[in-house]
Amino acid sequence: WFLLMVRDDFKGGKITLEKALKLLEKLDIQCNTIHVKYIFKDNDRLQQGRITIEEFRTIYRIITYREEIIEIFNTYSENRKILLEKNLIQFLMREQYTLDFSESIASEIIQKYEPIEEVKQAHQMSFEGFRRYMDSSECLIFNNEYGHVYQDMTHPLTDYFISSSHNTYLISDQLWGPSDLWGYVSALVKGCRCLEIDCWDGSQNEPVVYHGYTFTSKLLFKTVIQAIHKYAFLASEYPVVLSLENHCSPSQQEVMADSLLATFGDALLSYTLDNFSDRLPSPEALKFKILVRNKKIGTLRETLERRGSDVHGQVEEYEEEEEVEEEEDGSGAKEPEPVGDFRDDLEKEEQSKRVVRIPLFRKKKIKISMALSDLVIYTKVEKFKSFHHSNLYQQFNESNSIGESQARKLTKLAAREFILHTRKFITRIYPKAIRADSSNFNPQEFWNVGCQMVALNFQTPGLPMDLQNGKFLDNGCSGYILKPRFLRDKKTKFNPHKVPIDSNPLTLTIRLISGIQLPPSYQNKADTLVIVEIFGVPNDQMKQQSRVIKKNEKRFGKFYYLILCYRRVPLFSKLGESLEPASLFIYVWYIR
Give the integer Cα–Cα distance in Å for 46 and 26. Answer: 26
Helix then strand count (H, E) for the chain reads 22, 23
Please give the C-alpha separations between residue 405 and each of 156, 363, 373, in angstroms, as whole numbers: 28, 22, 29
In the β-sheet with 566-572, what is the strand arrangement from edge to edge? 507-516, 578-591, 566-572
Give the integer Cα–Cα distance in Å for 500 and 504. Answer: 9
Per DSSP, the residues of 555-589 read BSS----S-S-EEEEEEE-TTS-EEEEEEEEEEEE
Please give the C-alpha separations between residue 374 and each of 294, 399, 425, in angstroms, as whole numbers: 10, 16, 20
Please give the angle made by the CA atoms of 529, 531 and 533, to the nearest 5 degrees: 175
Secondary structure letter of residue 429 according to DSSP: E
How crowded is residue 100: how many other Cβ atoms within 10 Å of its Cβ? 5
Give the integer Cα–Cα distance in Å for 264 and 269. Answer: 9
Pairing of strands 507-516, 531-534: unpaired
Give the amino acid at 281.
P
Q: Which residues pair with 363 in a beta bridge?
A: 321
Q: Which residues pair with 512 in a beta bridge?
A: 586
8 Å CB contact between 430 and 401: yes
DSSP H/E element including 230: helix 221-231
Is 35 annotated as catalytic?
Answer: no
Give the amino acid at 223.
T
**Total number of residues shown for the chain:** 592
Which contacts of 421-424 are long-range, i.e. CB under 8 A and separated by 24 or more positions? 421/387, 421/390, 421/391, 422/158, 422/449, 422/450, 422/451, 422/452, 422/487, 423/158, 423/450, 423/487, 423/488, 423/489, 423/490, 423/492, 424/158, 424/390, 424/391, 424/394, 424/396
How crowded is residue 95: how many other Cβ atoms within 10 Å of its Cβ? 18
Q: Which of 35, 148, 155, 166 is catalytic?
A: 166
Q: Which of 35, 123, 155, 211 is catalytic?
A: 211
8 Å CB contact between 583 and 569: yes
Give the integer Cα–Cα distance in Å for 413 and 296. Answer: 31
Is 166 annotated as catalytic?
Answer: yes
Outline where DSSP puts E strands in 310-437. 315-328, 356-369, 380-381, 398-403, 427-430
Secondary structure letter of residue 144 according to DSSP: G
Tally of CA atoms within 13 A in the half-sphere of 324 that contains its CB: 5
Nearest to 120 by CA among 134, 136, 132: 132
Q: Which residues are catalytic?
A: 166, 211
